[in-house]
Amino acid sequence: MTLVKERPAMTGFAAARKAMVDSQLRVSGVNSEFVRERMGAVPREEFVPEEARAAAYMDRAVPLGNGRFLAAPLVQGRMLEEAAPTAEDKVLLVEGGSLYLAELLRPLVGSLKVISAADAASVAKKGDYTLLVIDGAVEQLPEGLAKALAEGGRIVTGLVVRGLTRLATGRKIAGEVSLVPLAEIGIPVLPEFDAPKAWSF
């Protein structure tokens, strides 16, 4: 008689990652294989403070401190799917404070430059990035970021519209970047991209 060892059951964070993919991404229509593979492989708990690790796989944003958040898994799954990164892409990522999305993207693209939200407004060099990803929701896009995107380049971001956050995508056509809101979804807001407040009487 041959004894076959049973596969050990997944425990802890590994089980939580699988549950995240199966019960948050799949049921919400995020079914691209590359998204499931990356999010099933990258240990989300390593991108939050020690005291928040138990909440890393919950369906909500996780506070990182200093007003920053790791977005809910579904948000970054949708962003990654809409970005559809390829090995030919030269990517500029404005990170939201955790670097988790950078780790998801890194092996999928040709090159990846990561900048903070605080540095995004100072990007002035005309670039040839084919994909711009902003890991958070913005009210306005700084001119420097638009210039950094190559003609025909793609953008995936969160967008604040009348106080609500939406996932949005767009392209740079004839030197102009236009965004199309896709779905209302809770995305942490990046205050560096707030529009100037107008006076009202």
Q: What is the pLDDT of residue 11?
A: 63
Q: Can you give the pLDDT of all 201 residues of the chain as single tens digits?
A: 554 444 444 568 999 999 999 999 998 999 999 999 999 999 999 999 999 999 999 999 999 998 899 999 999 999 999 999 999 999 999 999 999 999 999 999 999 999 999 888 777 677 899 999 999 999 998 888 989 999 999 999 999 988 899 999 999 999 899 999 999 999 999 998 887 776 554
The alpha carbon torsion through 75, 81, 150, 115 (nearest 10 deg) reads 40
Nearest to residue 114, comparing CAs of 132, 129, 139, 94? 94
Average pLDDT score over the chain: 90
What are the tens digits of pLDDT across the range 145-174? 989 999 999 999 999 988 899 999 999 999
Question: How would you class 171 by CB atoms within 10 Å of its CB: exposed for 0-12, middle for 13-18, buried for 19 or more?
Answer: middle
Query: Cα(58)–Cα(176) distance, rounded to whole angstroms?
Result: 38
Q: Is there a contact between 135 and 120 (Cβ–Cβ < 8 Å)?
A: no
Backbone angles phi, psi at 54, to 5 degrees: -65, -20
- State pTM to two decimals: 0.89
What domains are defined for the chain? Answer: 12-193 (3.40.50.150)
